[in-house]
Amino acid sequence: MSDATLAEICAVACAEAWRGSGEVLASPIGTIPTIGARLAALTFEPDLAYGDGDASQLAAPIPVGAPPDAEKVVEAWIPFGNFFDIVWSGRRHVMMGATQIDRYGNQNIACIGPWAQPKAQLLGVRGAPGNTVNHPTSYWIPVHNARVFVESVDCASGVGYDRAAKAGPTMQQYHHIHHVVSNKGVFDFETPDHAMRIRSLHPGVTVEEVQELTGFPLVVPADVPTTRRPSDEELRIIREVLDPKGLRSAEVPE
Amino acid sequence: MTDKRMTEADVVAELRDGMTIGIGGWGSRRKPMSIVREILRSDLKDLTIVAYGGPEVGMLCTSGQLKKAVYGFVSLDSIPLEPHFRAARQNGTIEAMELDEGMLQWGLRAAAMRVDFLPCRAGLGSAVLDNNPGITTVTSPYSADDYVAMPAVKLDVALLHANRADARGNAQYLGADWYFDDLFAMAADRTFVSCEKVVEPGDFLKEGSESTIRISRIFTDGVVEAPHGAHFTHCVPDYQRDEQIQKEYADSAKSPEAWAEFRAKYIDIPEADYRRVIGVGQ
């Protein structure tokens, strides 16, 4: 196998977010997280469930970017009504995007500027409040920079650790911000005050570089691991089964 | 036996200024666009629209008929950000009640159950509670838990688009997802359903299983036969989204002139002409 690309390293880093999730629904948003979730299910997390991005839970993966009429093996029906039931049951681990994310894992996809009259209206909070209060949530950020990794988000769509603590024990009961994967590294909140920590950096990325691209001080462990490279088998699955058209490189160029 | 068939104009004649109107579908999927276009051709104003929002929200923003939007998101799916809605929010010309998607479902459910609120976890700790001071929390009578007390989202009217319906107002959904159309119908005082085709009740099971006949006539007040009535949003399996016209719609947010052009071409015309313009009518 030729050397892994950055997109492939990111896909495996996303897959790793679901390691240990067990038999729950993986809900990836974006190309690289979708490859990651399906890769995890095909390798080290065989009971992980995943959908087609629409109303079908699949028994076997389809490639990313498959047309709506692509042949698929449907094992369960998950229209949005069932979907919210699954969210509220907690049997799900989502990987969402973020226009902004802060030190304690608050995420914003709603607007930039004051909510009352925003400078830029975005999607709205979508399912982020319900996701973060009900089940593990991870984030995927294809372009790591200080406009995304900010000191404080403009509108807390997904709830981070500081706001969860303020909201109290019911909020905290099932709250868990798991990993943040970017094109520079993997981050988590496994610190005493749940401030964002470097979990690993992708090959060739330095602490100085990633700190420069982050709008708040990251917690740096004494020994910063390097994100693992995909195995030959993982590369084969990504390239031949999950993304034969190479859509991953559009989301993360070299 | 009541025959509930009517036209889009008949539906709009039942609407009043200031009403709260729920619109079914999801994003740019199976929206009752022919009725929405009829609203745009009317003088109705000060409307509150409740929706998993798509182009109907943006259109009513730009036409100036929307006073307040209640939503979990507003998106065109393949074009993630709805440009007309964005402009209205950024210019401060509309009021907004922005909710978690699940909270909106729960508010509709509460209205459907005729209770003031339903408890949920969704919303706790998030900006939704900061931005909606009218939404509060409630302590469980059974434990120390605090939940969001999601208030009922009551609708004066629900507008839906189904794949099939019969003249009495039973509605059938042939795609993989009916989204929350059933809840919208139950949360509303009156519900009007447009459909691709009005069929005889005996024909429902030729099209799909019993579970596809999702809405009973006991929840509906009017049926409009509107072939391509959801266009340019999708109405699977009858048709996919018309991405090209959706793009024209999105681009029309660039200037008042572009919007006027879009309006003249696609909205300020009879529905039969609309079908000819999009290339499906005679």
Q: What residues in B contact A162, CB-CB < 8 Å?
A: none
Q: What is the pLDDT of residues B115-154, one digit of tens each?
A: 999 999 999 999 999 999 999 999 999 999 999 999 999 9
Smallest Cβ–Cβ distance between A133 and the set B92, B124, B178 belongs to B124
Q: What residues in A contact B92, CB-CB < 8 Å?
A: 116-117
Instruction: Count chain A–chain B contacts defined by CB atoms under 8 A.
Output: 140
Q: Report DSSP state, residue B35.
A: H
pLDDT bin (cut points 50, 70, 90) of residue B281 is confident
C-beta separation of B30 from B235 below 8 A: yes
Instruction: Compute φ and ψ for B124, nearest 5 degrees.
Output: -55, 135
Q: Mind telling me how many Å the CA of B19 is from chain A's nearest CA?
A: 23
Q: Mind telling me how many Å the CA of A171 is from chain B's nearest CA?
A: 6
Q: Residue A18 has which token pair?
A: 């679901």
Q: What is the per-residue pLDDT for B282?
A: 59
Q: Is the model's pLDDT at B274 over the cut of 70?
A: yes
Q: What is the per-residue pLDDT for A93?
A: 98
- Determine which of A88, A112, A170, A177 to mutate to test the interface with B (most B C-beta atoms within 10 Å): A170
Q: What is the pLDDT of residues A48-57, one digit of tens each?
A: 999 998 899 9
Query: Of all residues in chain A, what percent carry a pLDDT higher than 90?
Result: 96
Half-sphere exposure of A52 (CA within 13 A, CB side): 25
Give me the residue label for tokens 């939704």: B128
Q: Is the model's pLDDT at B68 over the cut of 70?
A: yes
CA distance A66 to A169: 42
Helices (runs of H) and strands (runs of E) counted in chain B: 11, 12
Q: What is the pLDDT of residues A29-74, one digit of tens each?
A: 999 999 999 999 999 999 999 999 889 999 999 999 998 788 999 9
Q: Mind telling me how many Å the CA of B269 is from chain A's nearest CA?
A: 31
CA distance B99 to A125: 7
Q: Report DSSP state, residue A64.
A: T
Q: Is the model's pLDDT at B277 over the cut of 80?
A: yes
Q: Considering only the top CATH level, what class is A6-248?
A: alpha beta
Q: What is the per-residue pLDDT for A69?
A: 82
Closest residue in B to A68 (Cα) is: B240
- The CA-based angle A16-A20-A25, given to 5 degrees, is 85
| Cα dihedral sign, B3-B8-B10-B13 | positive
- Determine which of A52, A125, A159, A194 to mutate to test the interface with B (most B C-beta atoms within 10 Å): A125
C-alpha closest to that of A54 among A36, A34, A68: A68
CA distance B182 to B176: 14
C-beta separation of B212 from B247 below 8 A: no
Q: What is the pLDDT of residues A132-141, one digit of tens each?
A: 999 999 999 9
Closest residue in A to B180 (Cα) is: A81
C-beta separation of A175 from A159 below 8 A: yes
Q: Is the model's pLDDT at A210 over the cut of 90?
A: yes
> Is there a contact between B121 and A157 if contact means CB atoms under 8 Å apart?
no
**Helix or strand run (H / E) with residue A120:** strand A120-121
C-beta separation of A23 from A15 below 8 A: no
Q: What is the per-residue pLDDT for B189?
A: 98
Q: What is the pLDDT of residues B186-195, one digit of tens each?
A: 999 999 999 9
> Is there a contact between A159 and B105 if contact means CB atoms under 8 Å apart?
no
Report domain extents, chain B: 5-101+153-276, 116-151
Smallest Cβ–Cβ distance between A124 and the set B26, B98, B180 belongs to B98
CA distance A126 to B103: 10
Q: What is the pLDDT of residues A175-198, one digit of tens each?
A: 999 999 999 999 999 999 999 999
Q: What is the per-residue pLDDT for A1?
A: 63
Q: What is the pLDDT of residues A94-120, one digit of tens each?
A: 999 999 999 999 999 999 999 999 999
β pairing state of A100-102 and B155-165: unpaired
pTM: 0.96
Q: What residues in A contact B125, CB-CB < 8 Å?
A: 129, 132-133, 156, 159, 163-164, 166-167, 171, 175
Q: What is the per-residue pLDDT for B61?
A: 98
Q: What is the per-residue pLDDT for B203?
A: 97
Q: What residues in B contact A68, CB-CB < 8 Å?
A: 236, 240
Q: What is the pLDDT of residues B84-112, one digit of tens each?
A: 999 999 999 999 999 999 999 999 999 99
Q: What is the per-residue pLDDT for A68?
A: 78
> Is there a contact between A129 and B126 if contact means CB atoms under 8 Å apart?
yes
Q: Is the model's pLDDT at B261 over the cut of 70?
A: yes
Report domain extents, chain A: 6-248
Torsion angle of alpha carbons B45, B99, B104, B122, nearest 10°? -170
Q: Residue A189 has which token pair?
A: 């909140």
Q: Is the model's pLDDT at B184 over the cut of 80?
A: yes
What ipTM was assigned to the predicted interfaces of this complex? 0.95
Q: What is the per-residue pLDDT for A2?
A: 75
Q: What residues in A contact B105, CB-CB < 8 Å?
A: 81, 84
Q: What is the per-residue pLDDT for A254?
A: 83
When the pLDDT of each residue in chain A is averaged and rounded to a whole number, the result is 97
B95 Cβ contact list (under 8 Å, min separation 6): B67, B68, B69
Bridge partner residues of B235 (DSSP): B239
* Average pLDDT over every residue of B40-56: 98
CB atoms inside a 10 Å sphere around CB B236: 17
C-alpha closest to that of B175 among B193, B194, B160, B162: B162
Q: What is the pLDDT of residues A1-29, one digit of tens each?
A: 679 999 999 999 999 999 999 999 999 99
Q: Mind telling me how many Å the CA of A27 is from chain B's nearest CA?
A: 15
* Average pLDDT over every residue of B173-180: 97
User: Which CATH architecture is the domain B5-101+153-276 placed in?
Assistant: 3-Layer(aba) Sandwich (3.40)
CB atoms inside a 10 Å sphere around CB A254: 6
> Is there a contact between A127 and B72 if contact means CB atoms under 8 Å apart?
yes
